[in-house]
Structure 1
């Protein structure tokens, strides 16, 4: 029996169409597994959203649990002559700042030369000496033989210890080497330099030269005179950094940073409500459409909600002035979300911040609310926690379903291959039968013709 290379050629039947229908029917067996994989993938994605919302809540709780939050100070400034930043060592108080002089950098230029490329040093290496406001700051550096003005500039800028930055300026009649002290203040001010072939124009600016001495900043704080080599003045006020901007008066007030505490509380409320919104979406059910959230009925979400509800609605550390969130102005609403009673919270922050710190971060004898909440969320999110366990379980089911799908797909391929082989055999058999039928018809027709001719 001959081999049929294309189904249906020998029989005239649409065997390819029939085989495609059988293949589609066989692959229908894969769809339930595909749906199960898609369902588990959707659950993994949903658990990822839950994990993200819990992580934000944990971060907010950790911020509230930091005891430094309740002892931090802020600096407020009235006036334009200075800015201020308070550090850990700062003390509350009000300070009147009068900036008399800003710190500046010294500048000096050489006398003019005709070309930037003409060699200014001899055939041997030379020493460039740089003098500053204090002789102890004086430095020397080597300048290569045959160096031009540009070469000298580049050598200075490449030297980390030069104490000055160099540039070349065209004054309209020639070229000058211009030096600017890298640091502000009188002691760091460039005053002179010496080098064969290049002369410093070291007369003061007011006498027609180019020397402009650097100056120290001068200010007084509450009437006390202070000198600083730069405009960032540290510890003139303990724990406070002043940034001088211009001459004039400024008042700096160091006080408890109530804004940071208020922002931390509001951040916690926002994170908690965002988590509630996430869980509500993931567990939702639309009765009209029958559409359910990816984690509708999931036990992990129920456990998370139950545990958090117990923590948020329960009492805090014993022995403190506050025991419930409502005591400090955070209300638990009927829908399970939190809201802030601003007036009550502001009063607590302004007048009883230590008790607020004890409530959130705890005391020596008891954990605070934020500490307990952060620890509980951390357990849920840990490697052995409920959320990670749910994600790992869904991932394992996806792997198992994937293996099952692969085996079923191989089985479908084998079945279709068997059908193809059987159809090929059928096609060949029908082709042979058609050939035999045609042959016999021809023989019978020939015999009939002979019989009629002989009659």
Structure 2
């Protein structure tokens, strides 16, 4: 009778024997797979950290690309009762006495008053003209004051008129206001009736009232008269914007403009801090721990070495300013130590700021060769959507896919090995079982022969 239970014939634990044999081949290979996968994951994580560090550095240097952050002005106003002021980098240091005679105001006109604003006015159109631009609205026979105001305000081609219904002791009336101040922005209103005379009676010539004349702002800068259509007066003083808030020609407001060295120092320090943070991040992900004898994920990586080399190259570069002079980071007090970290000599930077403000701007912001532009482009070559880091991440993804395929193929191979060994051992077990049965039968027959003596 054939044996069907594994190991019954030989008495061996075939299942465990097969497992031990398979594990002897599988365990080292799986350990290698796991080590490779852990390495890939560590590199993917490190590459993400590197991309983040480069993006942060890129954001920091972007602020220096235009040069505005490196050539700043601070402005002070002796009193905020009449004006406020801001200055850009083109403003020259100086002090100015300013008197405001008149604020700019917008033009306002109104139609005649009515007792009941809900009643219709008339049928026809209202045409508006402001500073050479015009639009018109059609008025229906059923339109009230509020309906007319709504049509004016919502007109797609409205060139700058706001309509409002005002109710006073005298009644209700439509008021039209120019959205812009100044004498150039007066409202010219023409009423046209297609039925009756209602619109002309309310808005026609002689029936409208000027509630507020359009006026220009009038001010004096060091006793020189300046007229402006708005209360925002730009470049009457080069690089300075004045925002007028009140008028009294008898009062003088002093506006003082100075170089803002402290703000520039803050922006230079922010650049140095961002650079050092990037260098620290690169060092960390490419380091080797001698005590633990472990290497960081990107230790010895060619990309890391390339970034470090390029950073040092840009940082050590010299820029030719517009005046023909040459300037480098060292000239403004920024030096680099043997670990690649930057530091600032405040005394040297202060001197550079007092003497060479335009050149400091040139050092960072000159198109093409300025350090901020070169650092930005360097970082961008790695972090952009199809940059070097994206290529590396694709490579890691491909490595992981190949590893997954190898795992799957190896798993199939181990399943086949398990089946083959199980089959072989079962065949051996069957033979051993059959031999044992034959041996037992032979002994029984020998014992049954005549003259056989059984030992007790």
TM-score class, shorter: 0.5 to 0.7
Structure 1 match to 2:219:
219
| Structure 2 counterparts to residues 23-422 of structure 1, below 5 A | 28=27, 29-54=29-54, 57=57, 72=71, 74=73, 76-78=75-77, 79-80=79-80, 81-86=82-87, 90-110=91-111, 111-116=113-118, 118-122=119-123, 126-130=124-128, 141-159=137-155, 160-161=157-158, 163-171=160-168, 175-190=172-187, 194=191, 196-197=197-198, 200=202, 211-247=211-247, 249-256=252-259, 258=261, 261-287=264-290, 289-306=292-309, 308-309=311-312, 312=315, 325-333=329-337, 335-354=339-358, 356=360, 370-371=370-371, 375=374, 378=377, 382=381, 392=391, 395-396=394-395, 398-413=397-412, 415-416=414-415, 419=418
The whole-number CA distance in structure 1 between the counterparts of 2:423 and 2:240 is 92
Instruction: Decide which moves more: 95-104 or 182-191.
Output: 182-191
> What are the Cα deviations for residues 31-87 of structure 1, in whole angstroms up to 9, with x where unaligned?
4224313312322332343344345556666766767776x5635131312233445
From the superposition, tell whether residues 119 and 399 of structure 1 become closer, same or farther in structure 2 (CA, over 3 Å): same
Superposition CA RMSD, Å: 5.1
From the superposition, tell whether residues 16 and 402 of structure 1 become closer, same or farther in structure 2 (CA, over 3 Å): farther
From the superposition, tell whether residues 317 and 185 of structure 1 become closer, same or farther in structure 2 (CA, over 3 Å): closer
Number of equivalenced pairs: 406
Do the aligned partners of 1:40 and 1:395 also contact (CA within 8 Å) in 2? Answer: no
Do the aligned partners of 2:33 and 2:407 also contact (CA within 8 Å) in 1? Answer: no
Do the aligned partners of 2:127 and 2:137 also contact (CA within 8 Å) in 1? Answer: yes
Please state whether the residue corresponding to 1:296 is helix, strand or coil: coil
From the superposition, tell whether residues 279 and 129 of structure 1 become closer, same or farther in structure 2 (CA, over 3 Å): closer
Please state whether the residue corresponding to 1:268 is helix, strand or coil: helix
Q: What is the TM-score when the length of structure 2 is the normalising length?
A: 0.67
Deviation at 1:355, TM superposition (A): 5.2
From the superposition, tell whether residues 26 and 108 of structure 1 become closer, same or farther in structure 2 (CA, over 3 Å): farther
Do the aligned partners of 1:84 and 1:243 also contact (CA within 8 Å) in 2? Answer: yes
Deviation at 1:114, TM superposition (A): 1.6
Q: What is the TM-score when the length of structure 1 is the normalising length?
A: 0.67
Do the aligned partners of 1:106 and 1:189 also contact (CA within 8 Å) in 2? Answer: yes
From the superposition, tell whether residues 284 and 180 of structure 1 become closer, same or farther in structure 2 (CA, over 3 Å): same
Deviation at 1:226, TM superposition (A): 2.3
The whole-number CA distance in structure 2 between the counterparts of 1:24 and 1:173 is 103
Please state whether the residue corresponding to 2:116 is helix, strand or coil: coil
Deviation at 1:349, TM superposition (A): 0.6
Do the aligned partners of 1:83 and 1:242 also contact (CA within 8 Å) in 2? Answer: yes
Deviation at 1:189, TM superposition (A): 4.2
| Unmatched tracts of structure 2, length 5 or more | 7-12, 438-456
| Unmatched tracts of structure 1, length 5 or more | 9-13, 203-208, 438-455
Deviation at 1:165, TM superposition (A): 0.8
Do the aligned partners of 1:108 and 1:201 also contact (CA within 8 Å) in 2? Answer: no
Please state whether the residue corresponding to 1:183 is helix, strand or coil: strand
Do the aligned partners of 1:33 and 1:401 also contact (CA within 8 Å) in 2? Answer: no
The whole-number CA distance in structure 2 between the counterparts of 1:289 and 1:161 is 75
Do the aligned partners of 2:55 and 2:379 also contact (CA within 8 Å) in 1? Answer: no
From the superposition, tell whether residues 234 and 256 of structure 1 become closer, same or farther in structure 2 (CA, over 3 Å): same
